[in-house]
Structure 1
Amino acid sequence: MDLLLEKPLDSLSKEVVFTITGSKSESNRLLILKALYPELEIVNLSNSDDTIHMQEALMSQKNHVDIGHAGTAMRFLTAYYASKKGLVTITGSQRMQQRPIAVLVDALRSIGAKIEYVNEEGYPPLKIEGGHINDTAVKLDASVSSQYITALMLIAPSLENGLKIELIGKLTSRPYIEMTVRHLQSIGVTVNWSQIDISVEKDDKSPSELISISSLNSTSQKSLTVESDWSSAGYWYSWVALQDTGYQLTLQHYFKESVQGDSKLSEYYEAFGVQTSFDNNQLILTKRSEKVAQRIVINLVNEPDQAQTIFATCLALGVDAHLTGLHTLRIKETDRIAALKDVGSRFRESVIETTQDTITLTCIPLEQHAEPVVIDTFDDHRMAMAFAPVACRTSLLIKDAGVVTKSYPQFWNDLKRVNVNITEI
C-alpha cells in the first residue's frame, strides 16, 4: 500500500486529543515477566505488530516460532526459550535473518545454553534446546545493543541462582536498561547495578507478593499500566514543531516521571519551539515560538529511535543538524543511516554527510515541490512516520505505508484527524 500525503487545506480550530498505543518496549518486557509470573496483569498493552508477535509466540504450543520483523521479540525470546525446557526453532522475516544475534547467543552459550544456527552463523533462525543454563555469571559486550542485556536480565530471576552480567565496553541505550531495572523492581526482584556489572537475584517471592512503584502507575499489587509509547509521540512533536504559534495537541496516558528514555523529546524539541506540559497523565504539546535553532547538535546514543524523526524535523524547518551516537541504527529494520541519506537527499538544497555513527545535515528551508517527494520505507516503520509530518510543507508519496503496524497501527487515521489529505495509490 502506497499513500499520497498532501498538505492540510486548513488549520484545526480546536484542540486535538490522541490516544497512542502502549509502549512496545515496556509491553514486550512485561510479557516476558508475565510468562514467568502468570498472575501479573498488564493494562494498556501495545497493539503493535511487535507485541502481537510476542504474545503469539509465548502462547504458542508449536516448536517453530516466526516473529516477523519484531527485533525485541527475537532477542527476548531467544533468552526466554533458552531458560525454559523444550525444543524451539525461532525465525523471522528476511531482514530479521540479516540482523546479527551472535553477541547474545555467545553469552547464553557461555552459561550453558544449547543454541544452534540453522543457516548462517551469527544470524537467525535459531534452534534452541532450553533448560540447560547452569552458570551464574556472564560477560557481554554492552556497546552493541541494550536488548541483549535486557534479554538476560528478564530471565535472571527464574534461574537457579540468579545472574551476574559483567558489562564489557561502553553501555549503549542506557535508558532501556533503566526501564528493565524498574520493571523488575516493580515486581519485587532485587537488582544491583554498578558501572561494570548488573546482578539480578533469583526471585523467591510468589506472584501475589508483587509490589508497585508510582512511576509505573500500578492499579493494584498485581497490575501494571503500560505508559503510551514515547517513541510514537516523537512524530507528533515533529508535527507541532511545523505548525504556527499557538497550535496545541494532547496525547493520552503519558507520565511526567517516565521510564522511557525517549521522554527526552520534551527537552530536544524546545529547540524547535515546542513546549511540553502535563495534566492528569496527559501530554500537552504547544507551539510557543516561531523562532527555532539555526543548528542543533545532539548525541542520541540513549534515544536512537528518535534520529529519523529529528532529522526530518530539521529538514522541514531548514535547521542544520549534527546527530551522533547512532551506531545501532546500522542494524535496525534497515540501515537507517543509509536510508536517511538516500531519502533526505531527495529534498531540495540539502547536503547530507554520514559516518558509521553520525549524520550531518546542511539545508535551507523546504519549499513546495512540483511533484510528491517519494519516501521509500525499506521495511522500516519509522521511515514512514518520521517523514510523514513533512506533508505540512510539501506532498509526499509514502511507499509500503502499511509498515506502520509494527509499532503504531492507527497512525494514518490519526494523521487524517489533523487534516492531512491521504489517498491510497
Structure 2
Amino acid sequence: MHCKLAKSTLKSNQQIIISGSKSETNRLLLLQALYPNLKIENASNADDTLVMQKALQFVGKVGEINVHHAGTAMRFLTAFFAMHEGLEVILSGSYRMHERPIKILVEALKQLGCNISYLKEEGFPPIKIIGKIPQNNNVLINANVSSQYITALMLVGASLPNGLQISLQGTITSLPYISMSLQILQEIGIQATFQKSTLHIPPTKQLSKNTFVVESDWSSASYFYSFIALSALGTQISLGYFKQNSLQGDAYLAKIYEQFGVQTTFVNNKIIVKKVQNHTIKKIDLNLNNTPDIAQTIIVTCLGLGITCNLTGLHTLIIKETNRLQALKTELQKFNTKVSITNNSIQLLNTVSFTQNAVVIDTYNDHRMAMAFAPLALKQQMVINNASVVTKSYPDFWNDIDTLLVDIE
C-alpha cells in the first residue's frame, strides 16, 4: 500500500484521540502475565502490542514464536520465557530482527543461570530458550546500548524468589524509558528503587494496585506537533489523552517544539497544541539521547521550516527497524538537502525550496519513517511507499490524517 498526499492545508480546532502508549502497554502486558489480577485500560492497539499479547499465551507450550519487527517483544519475551521452569521456545523474527543485537541481554540472563543459545549468528536472534527459575539475583549489564535490555530484567525481577539487583555499567541510554519502567513498577505496588547505578527490584507476590490506565502515546503525538509547526499562525488541534506528569520521556517534545512556535496547554486530560508564533531560529542543536524516537519527526520539521539542525545522541537509531540515520539521509536528500551522518548524529546542512513534483518516500519497514514525513504534505505533494507499516505503532494514523487535511492542489 502506498499513500498519495496532495499539497494540503491543516484544518483547525479538530480533535484526535490517540491510542494508549505502546511502550507502557507492552510493559504492563508482561507484568499482567506475571500478576494475572492486573487490569489494563486504554491499551495500545498497535501491531507490536498484538504480537506481545499472542506470544504471552505461549506459556505451557513447546515451539517457535515469530515476533516479526517487534523489538520490545523480542527483548521482553527473552527475559520472560527464560524464567519459566521447563518451558522450551524458539524466539525468531523478521530478517531485520535477526540483524538486531540481543547479546547484552542474553549474557546478563546467563549470569543469572538462564539457558539460552543462538541458532544462527552469535549475538543475534533467533534464539532457543529453555526456561528455569534462576537462584542468583545479581546481574551486571552494559547500559549504553539499549534501555530495553534493562527494562526486560526489571519487569521480571519482582517475580523471582529473591528479587533482582541490576548493576548498570557505562553511560545510560534512553534513561526516561528506564524511569518509565521504574514508575510503572512502583505505581502497581512493587517497591523498586534506583540509586546511583543500581536498580533493586524486591520479590513481590501481590500487587497493591490492580488497575492501570495507559496514557496515550507521546511518540505518536509528535507527528501532530510537526503538522502544527508547519501550519499557519493560530492553527490548533486537541489530542487526548495525556498527563502533565507523564511517564513517557517523549513528552519532552512539548518543550522542544516551543522553539518552533508551538504551545501546549493541558485541559482535562487533553492537550491543545497551537501555533502561537513564527519561529525566529535558523539552526537548532539538540542532544536526543533521552528521546531518540522523535529524531525523525524533528528533522523533518526543520526541513519544512527552513531550519538547519544538528541532532546528536542517536546511536540507538542504527539498530532500530532500519538504520534510521542512513534511511533519513537517503530520503531527505530527495528534497535536494545536504545531510551528514555519523553513528551518533545527523545534520541538516541547508534549506530547500519545495517543488511542484511529488517526492516518493521509501519507509524501510519503519513506521516512524512513514509518519515523520507525512507533515511535509503541507509543503508539497508526496507519495509514501508501504504506508501500512504505521500499524506497528499507530494503526489509525492515515484515517486521522485524512480528517485533518484539506487538499489545496
Given the two structures, how large is their TM-score scaled by the length of structure 2?
0.97
Letter in 2 for 1:25: S
Letter in 1 for 2:398: W
CA distance in 2, matches of 1:386, 1:311: 9
1:4-403 aligned within 5 A: 4-8=4-8, 11-12=10-11, 14-60=12-58, 61=61, 63-85=63-85, 86-204=87-205, 206-207=206-207, 210-211=208-209, 222-348=210-336, 350-367=337-354, 369-403=355-389
Letter in 1 for 2:306: G
Taking only the aligned residue pairs, the percentage that are identical comes to 48
CA deviation digits over 1:65-107, x for unaligned, max 9?
1111000000000000001121111111111111010000011
CA distance in 1, matches of 2:224, 2:135: 47
Letter in 1 for 2:140: K
CA contact 2:10–2:378 (8 Å) conserved in 1: no
- For structure 2, the 5+ residue unaligned runs are none
Tell me the secondary structure at the aligned position of residue 356 of structure 2. coil
CA contact 2:103–2:123 (8 Å) conserved in 1: yes
CA deviation digits over 1:240-275, x for unaligned, max 9?
000000001010110011000000011000011100
CA deviation digits over 1:156-205, x for unaligned, max 9?
0011101111111000100000000011111211112122211111114x
CA distance in 2, matches of 1:421, 1:32: 43
CA deviation digits over 1:85-135, x for unaligned, max 9?
211111111111110100000110111000011111111111100124221
Aligned residues: 405
CA contact 1:156–1:202 (8 Å) conserved in 2: yes
CA contact 1:153–1:200 (8 Å) conserved in 2: yes
CA distance in 1, matches of 2:287, 2:77: 30
CA contact 2:98–2:125 (8 Å) conserved in 1: yes
RMSD (Å), alpha carbons: 1.3
Q: CA deviation at 1:363?
A: 2.1
CA contact 2:146–2:174 (8 Å) conserved in 1: yes
CA contact 2:218–2:251 (8 Å) conserved in 1: yes
CA deviation digits over 1:284-305, x for unaligned, max 9?
1000012342111110000000
CA distance in 2, matches of 1:73, 1:11: 35
Check 1:398–1:298 CA distance in 2 against 1; reply closer, same or farther (3 A cut). Answer: same
Letter in 1 for 2:76: F
CA distance in 2, matches of 1:41, 1:321: 43
CA deviation digits over 1:219-253, x for unaligned, max 9?
xxx21100000000000000000000000101011
Letter in 1 for 2:239: L
Letter in 2 for 1:356: N
Tell me the secondary structure at the aligned position of residue 284 of structure 1. strand
CA contact 1:298–1:324 (8 Å) conserved in 2: yes
Q: Which residue of 2 aligns with 1:218?
A: none
Tell me the secondary structure at the aligned position of residue 170 of structure 1. coil
Q: Which residue of 2 aligns with 1:214?
A: none
Q: CA deviation at 1:11?
A: 4.9
Q: CA deviation at 1:63?
A: 2.6
Tell me the secondary structure at the aligned position of residue 335 of structure 2. coil
CA contact 1:114–1:132 (8 Å) conserved in 2: no
Letter in 1 for 2:25: S
Given the two structures, how large is their TM-score scaled by the length of structure 1?
0.93
Q: CA deviation at 1:354?
A: 1.0
Tell me the secondary structure at the aligned position of residue 158 of structure 2. helix
Check 1:420–1:97 CA distance in 2 against 1; reply closer, same or farther (3 A cut). Answer: farther
Check 1:313–1:366 CA distance in 2 against 1; reply closer, same or farther (3 A cut). Answer: farther
Q: CA deviation at 1:421?
A: 5.2
CA contact 1:228–1:254 (8 Å) conserved in 2: yes
CA contact 1:47–1:409 (8 Å) conserved in 2: yes
Tell me the secondary structure at the aligned position of residue 94 of structure 1. coil
Letter in 1 for 2:400: D
- For structure 1, the 5+ residue unaligned runs are 212-221
Q: CA deviation at 1:62?
A: 5.1
